[in-house]
Amino acid sequence: MKFQNKLERRFGRFAIENQMVVICGGQAIVYIADLLMDGFASDMLYLNWGLVTRGQIWRVLTFIFEPGSSNPLTFVLSLYFYYMIGGALERIWGSFNFDCFYLLEMICTVIASVFVGVGTSYYINLSLFLAFAVLYPDHQVLLFYVLPIKVKWVALIDLLFMAYSFYISPSVRPLIIASFVPLVIFLWDDAVKNIRLYIDRKKRAKEFSEYWK
């Protein structure tokens, strides 16, 4: 992240702290507005490239406030979960780098929407989780809100699901590719480091077991 660190030294004063509070708070407001206006708020905010080209420019920014679920329980739990992982990423990266990561995710999603017509924050949220899994692979979460499991295994399931979606649905391929661009830029060094550590641990464990045979 050397390039990002150079940017932070120059533009760090413009960082937005606690960005996930703003995003989650915005989604909560839109969710309530949807309940009161039968989904009208989301209809006015979601990313539709055709409508953007007709002058509704705000959609390239407001789509991140579209609620991810209409189910109250699922919405509240997902809101808390992404607030938690977003806060963790901001603490380890710093506000400026986290802001850059999220902004780049938005930009890539908007570019992808040019090819598929629409965009969504769904794959941005998945990217947040995958970034969290790379940095905190052994952190435990509750699968289906019941079973404790390390996030690295949940991330593997998500990757398999994304690969399957990529294979069967050409319409989502640009969105999936777009979501991975910031991940590669921001997490390549950490991913390589974790893979090397994993290989090293396996090698040491093998050497230890062979020594005591």
pLDDT for the residue numbered 149: 82
* Per-residue confidence band for 18, with pLDDT thresholds at 50, 70 and 90: confident
Three-state SS at 167: helix
C-alpha dihedral sign at 113, 134, 84, 72: positive
Distances (CA, A) of 174 to 119, 120, 180: 10, 12, 10
Q: What is the pLDDT of residues 101-150, one digit of tens each?
A: 999 999 999 999 999 999 989 999 999 999 998 888 888 876 666 677 88
C-alpha span between 102 and 64 (Å, rounded): 10
DSSP codes, 37-71: HTTHHHHHHSEEHHHHHTT-TTHHHHGGGS-S-SS
Residue 30 has pLDDT above 80, yes or no: yes
Answer for the pair 108, 178: CB distance below 8 angstroms, yes or no: yes
Rounded average pLDDT over 188-209: 64
Q: Within a 10 A sphere around the Cβ of 119, how many other Cβ atoms?
A: 29
Phi, psi (rounded to 5 degrees) for 118: -135, 160
Q: Which helix (H) or strand (E) holds 16?
A: none
Task: Give the pLDDT band (50/70/90) at residue 32.
Answer: very high
Q: Is pLDDT at 1 greater than 60 in this prediction?
A: no
pLDDT (average), residues 180-203: 73
Task: Encode pLDDT of 139-159 as tens digits.
Answer: 887 666 667 788 888 889 889
Tell me the pLDDT band of 2, cut-offs 50, 70 and 90: low
pLDDT at 212 over 70: no
Cα distance between residue 49 and residue 177, in whole Å: 18
Mean pLDDT, rounded, of the chain = 84
Contact (CB, 8 A) for 193 and 112? no
Check residue 194 and give its pLDDT.
63
What is the set of domains in the chain, with CATH numbers?
A: 2-211 (1.20.1540.10)
The fraction of the chain above a pLDDT of 90, given in percent, is 45
Helix and strand element counts for the chain (H, E): 10, 4
Can you tell me the mean pLDDT for 31-45? 91
Residue 171 sits at the vertex; the CA angle it makes with 168 and 172, to the nearest 5 degrees, is 80
DSSP code at position 141: E
| Global pTM value | 0.82
Section 185-203 average pLDDT: 68
